[in-house]
Structure 1
Amino acid sequence: MFIDCSNTLPQFQFEDSQELNPNNTEYRLLFGPRWAQLAGWTKEEFFQQVELHSIEYVMQQVYAKLDEEFAMDNFLNMLRKANIAYHAIHNMDYGRDSSTPPVDHEVVAEILKQYPNRFIGFAGFNPHKGTESLKTVRKAITEQGFKAVVIPPYEHGVKADDRKYYPLYALCDELGIPIWIHSSINYFRETSVFLDHPSNLEAPLMDFKNLKIIAGHGGWPWIPDMIAMLLKYENLYVDTSAFRPRYIAEPNTGWDMFMYYANTLIQDKIVFGSDWLTLGMPINEVIEEVEAWPLKASVKEKFFWKNANKLFKLGLEKPAVTTIIRGES
């Protein structure tokens, strides 16, 4: 059984390219071939098309195919077959100014209502939108069934320890809900690679004693720093999402220290997160590679679902969840 703490919905991942931030060209070139593979293309076919057409046009064709492949019924069937008990919906609020209103959580709220005990809603916050954004987060948590908050500092252009985030941290501390924070490399050409360094999580952890943070994407390439933080701060957790599991387990990829300590001192701090939609890998293939990791059986159980079950207060027991998954229509 798995609880996936880092993901979204296909309709959010494969949005119309016309609505994508024009600064995301590097991301589209990086992840486009992976998404094209999910749509049935080869990488070679993808790059051949990019040579002939604009990246925007090519991605429109990819998205159109993915919209068919990942309709909700098909999507739920994929999760069921992979034994995903809960799947995250990160409803991000992007942007570096207040020119647009806070992200709408209504669509996700309806999905949470329509498919109970299937998704974990993460409410997006944007520090540039101030009190209005904070209000939407509070409503999402207290009225709309969301269980967590999500922020991508590199998208906002400010570090996680910026005081603009502090009202949000205070709210999460007050309500006892975890917050997922992007804590790894970013590929924005005009944004510092160090903006999402794990050390930026230290001040919030020190200033808010009950604040629970999930360091998203494992802290790579700063794994030693990430491990030091995990060893020191009780309320810090980590996932390894958005990186192909096979490479995480390989020596000399920068993950060696994570794999060593995951079996020992940080085994209660690790949670499963895949971002399989971003990776462009079917979820069952991601899980096969994760299950091959050299972790003890007891640690795998904690990593796959037990730690997240406790963190999100889901109250699940393995036999009961297995029954629910098999009986889901």
Structure 2
Amino acid sequence: MTIDVWMQHPTARFLASEFLASLRRWTGGQIPEGELPIESTLESMDVAGVDIGLLSAWRGPHGQDLVSNDEVAEWVRRHPTRFAGLAAVDLDRPMTAVRELRRRVRDEGFVGLRVVPWLWGAPPTDRRYYPLFAECVELGVPFCTQVGHTGPLRPSETGRPIPYIDEIALDFPELTIVCGHVGYPWTEEMVAVCRKHENVYIDTSAYTSRRLPKELVTFMKTGTGARKVLFGTNYPMIGHAHALDGLDELELPESSCSAYLHDNAARVFAKIGNLAA
């Protein structure tokens, strides 16, 4: 069984976003242009043998509801054995954000919170995040975020693992933090922070197997790294089959490969429950 911990089913609003322009250049126009049925996302998963996908909502400042929590909830409702939801919230309204996260997790079964710092122009040490971190701990769900440079034409500073991830892990040692996009060009920093903090993890979204940084692959072959790295795609920017192509070339031990593709995600996102069994 394989679990994709970072993907989104793109709405027309999401696909029309100006920040996708640079990603379209990188992918040679592979990112779709128009509205897609949810079945197309399931087809991408099926071709690659991906059983479960964590669908993320996308919320930014000034009402940028690019993929709404309601839309994610509906896709999960329609395909409850294939999808689980990651909530997005409005950082500018902290108490509304806390209540939204609480409702989505408790009432609708969402399994975590995702905030993309570059979309807000605010690193995770910004004070607006801190009530959400406390609520994640109380709810028993991870905080998911982006690390590394910013592919879209936005400043990359918000994606530095040091100081930002290191500092929030010190302030909230009980908070599970899943850092997507491997942290490049600060991958060594990301690995160091992951080694240092018990509840910090890395997901490989936005990178194909053949493009994973050597530092990360080396880490995945260690005892600590084998239980700390989770598979992700960033679909639809990278299709599932493309993301997994070349996995055998990494020469991961069988137990490490199983942990990477399934076991770590099932443990970290415990609220997936029976889906990941």
Normalised TM-score (structure 1): 0.76
Q: 1:198 is matched with which residue? A: 161
Matched, 1:29 2:22: yes
Q: What is the alpha-carbon distance in structure 2 between the residues aligned to residue 235 and residue 288 of structure 1?
A: 29
Other structure's SS at 2:109 match = coil
Q: What is the alpha-carbon distance in structure 1 between the residues aligned to residue 160 and residue 110 of structure 2?
A: 27
- Partner residue of 2:33 out of 59, 63, 66: 63
Task: Map Cα deviations across residues 247-301 of structure 1 (whole Å, 9 max, x no partner).
Answer: 22xxxxxx2221111101311111101113113xx32232122343221111000
Matched, 1:270 2:242: no
Write out aligned runs for 1:200-279 (5 A): 200-248=164-212, 255-264=213-222, 265-279=224-238
How many residue pairs get aligned? The number is 273
Aligned residue type for 1:81: V
Q: Which moved more, 1:180-189 or 1:266-275?
A: 180-189
Aligned residue type for 2:160: H
Aligned residue type for 1:28: A
Q: C-alpha displacement at 1:187, in angstroms?
A: 4.1
Task: Say whether the 8 Å CA contact 1:126–1:151 is kept in structure 2.
Answer: no
Q: 2:254 is matched with which residue? A: 297
Task: Say whether the 8 Å CA contact 2:87–2:112 is kept in structure 1.
Answer: yes
1:76–1:211 distance in 2 versus 1, CA, 3 Å = same
Q: C-alpha displacement at 1:227, in angstroms?
A: 1.2
Other structure's SS at 2:56 match = strand
Task: Map Cα deviations across residues 46-104 of structure 1 (whole Å, 9 max, x no partner).
Answer: xxxxxxxxxxxxxxxx513xx4xx42233323322322121121102112xxx438774
Q: 2:241 is matched with which residue? A: 284
Q: What is the alpha-carbon distance in structure 1 between the residues aligned to residue 154 and residue 203 of structure 2?
A: 26
Task: Map Cα deviations across residues 278-329 of structure 1 (whole Å, 9 max, x no partner).
Answer: 13xx3223212234322111100000001101111234598xx6xxxxxxxx
Aligned residue type for 2:69: H
Other structure's SS at 1:132 match = helix
1:309–1:261 distance in 2 versus 1, CA, 3 Å = same
Percent identity between the two aligned chains: 24
Other structure's SS at 1:131 match = helix
Task: Say whether the 8 Å CA contact 1:126–1:156 is kept in structure 2.
Answer: no
Other structure's SS at 1:218 match = coil
Runs of 4+ in 1 over 6 A off after TM superposition: none
Greater fraction strand: 2
Q: What is the alpha-carbon distance in structure 2 between the residues aligned to residue 233 and residue 110 of structure 1?
A: 35
Q: 1:108 is matched with which residue? A: 72
1:275–1:187 distance in 2 versus 1, CA, 3 Å = closer
- Partner residue of 1:93 out of 35, 47, 59: 59
- Partner residue of 1:83 out of 37, 41, 49: 49
Q: What is the alpha-carbon distance in structure 1 between the residues aligned to residue 78 and residue 275 of structure 2?
A: 22
Task: Say whether the 8 Å CA contact 1:6–1:90 is kept in structure 2.
Answer: yes
Q: C-alpha displacement at 1:16, in angstroms?
A: 5.2
Aligned residue type for 2:89: F
Task: Say whether the 8 Å CA contact 1:309–1:316 is kept in structure 2.
Answer: no
Q: What is the alpha-carbon distance in structure 2 between the residues aligned to residue 220 and residue 142 of structure 1?
A: 34
Aligned residue type for 2:23: L
Q: 2:269 is matched with which residue? A: 312
Task: Say whether the 8 Å CA contact 2:22–2:151 is kept in structure 1.
Answer: no
Aligned residue type for 2:233: S
Task: Say whether the 8 Å CA contact 2:144–2:180 is kept in structure 1.
Answer: yes
1:189–1:273 distance in 2 versus 1, CA, 3 Å = closer
Other structure's SS at 2:168 match = helix
Larger radius of gyration: 1
Matched, 1:155 2:119: yes
Matched, 1:74 2:40: yes
Task: Say whether the 8 Å CA contact 2:4–2:52 is kept in structure 1.
Answer: yes
Q: C-alpha displacement at 1:238, in angstroms?
A: 0.4
Q: Which moved more, 1:161-170 or 1:287-296?
A: 287-296
Q: What is the alpha-carbon distance in structure 2 between the residues aligned to residue 16 and residue 239 of structure 1?
A: 23
